[in-house]
Amino acid sequence: MNRKQLFEQIQNKSSFLCVGLDTDLSKIPGHLLKEKDPVFEFNKQIIDATADFAVSYKPNIAFYEALGPKGWESLQKTLEYIPKEIFTIADAKRGDIGNTSSLYAKAFFETMNFDSITVAPYMGVDSVKPFLEFEGKWVILLALTSNEGSKDFQLFSSKEGKPLFQEVLEKSNLWGSPENMMYVVGATRGEKIAEVRKIVPNHFFLVPGVGAQGGSLEEVAKFGMNKDCGLLVNSSRGIIYAGNDRNFAQAAKGEARKLKEEMKVLLERYL
């Protein structure tokens, strides 16, 4: 999927919502455990319920990997079930030397058919570039994350006072373009989003941390939106575990719709 198609979908749906499929057997409603593939069955119902309000789905790969080969089958089926016009993100945070990153790219872009993958920058240019060689596919590079530990190294500063996350943005900006690269930018600090937006005015941001992790959607839109929206805001637990009985999909739909309505207002205000 290209940038233009993504933006069109955002406009059509008046939403920049990404739904995180962090599907956990210990959290899904008990009646699903009798199904042959409970993870897929859960995802299927969540997708059916939320596809009108979401422009993106983001399976967190750890949740599937933890289940062994069976988990990968559930993931593959989930990916095939997602409507073609919706942007898919493998939240995998991979990154290794060149020939290994090429294989990870093959795993997520060919063996499976994800539109994008999250990548960790620590190993530098040759760990990122192999992912950029796939036409129509995207790298979503970790820049400034929303977790407590993000302070440990991402804010480590040079003698000019430049933090590492800024160095990551500036260097990686030369490896790809706003047409094939996005950044993970945590939502817990509005002023930080403004700082990142100044460095990379045109890239899309994948913003976790709204909801369970405590960020404000209003601040994200105010400080992060650009002329093509430039935002995918993720909510995982807040949507998929909104209910935990037979009506879970209905509850998820309600939460997704609520976020979409907020996003509609923000798109009208800031776009």
List 168, 232, 239, 267, residue binding its own copies (CB under 8 A): 168
How many C-alpha atoms does 261 have within 13 Å on its Cβ side? 6
**How many residues interact with its own copies (rule CB under 8 A)?**
57
Evaluated on CA atoms 208, 4, 170, 271, the torsion sign reads: negative
CB of 95 to its own copies, least distance (A): 6
Residue 93 is among the residues annotated as catalytic for this protein: yes
Give the H/E segment covering residue 151.
Answer: helix 150-154
Are the beta carbons of 216 and 210 closer than 8 angstroms? yes
For 269, other C-beta atoms within 10 Å of its C-beta total 11
Evaluated on CA atoms 159, 164, 169, 173, the torsion sign reads: positive
The footprint of its own copies on residues 69-128 (CB under 8 A) is 69-70, 72-73, 76, 91, 93-98, 100-101, 103-104, 106-107, 111-112, 120-128
Give the H/E segment covering residue 48.
Answer: helix 38-50
Closest to its own copies by CB, 22 vs 41, is 22
List 148, 191, 227, 268, residue binding its own copies (CB under 8 A): 148
CB of 261 to its own copies, least distance (A): 28
Please spell the DSSP secondary structure of 167-208, one letter per residue. HHHHHHTTTS-TTTEEEEE-SS-HHHHHHHHHHSSSSEEEE-
The pairs formed by 161-169 with CB atoms below 8 angstroms and a separation of 24 or more are: 165/196, 166/195, 166/199, 168/121, 168/141, 168/142, 168/143, 169/143, 169/196, 169/199, 169/200
CB of 224 to its own copies, least distance (A): 20
151 binds its own copies (CB under 8 A): yes
CA distance 188 to 144: 10
For 257, other C-beta atoms within 10 Å of its C-beta total 17
CB of 137 to its own copies, least distance (A): 15
CB of 140 to its own copies, least distance (A): 13
Strand partners, 226: 229
The footprint of its own copies on residues 16-35 (CB under 8 A) is 22
66 binds its own copies (CB under 8 A): yes
173 binds its own copies (CB under 8 A): no
265 binds its own copies (CB under 8 A): no
**Angle, alpha carbons 94-143-101 (nearest 5°):** 20
List 5, 12, 157, 177, residue binding its own copies (CB under 8 A): 157
- Residue 67 is given by DSSP the state T
Among the listed residues 44, 77, 93, 222, the single catalytic one is 93
The footprint of its own copies on residues 223-242 (CB under 8 A) is none
153 binds its own copies (CB under 8 A): yes
CB of 121 to its own copies, least distance (A): 6
* Residues at the interface with its own copies (CB under 8 A): 22, 60, 62-63, 65-70, 72-73, 76, 91, 93-98, 100-101, 103-104, 106-107, 111-112, 120-128, 142, 145-154, 156-159, 161, 164, 167-168, 171
* Residues annotated as catalytic (active site), given as ranges: 93
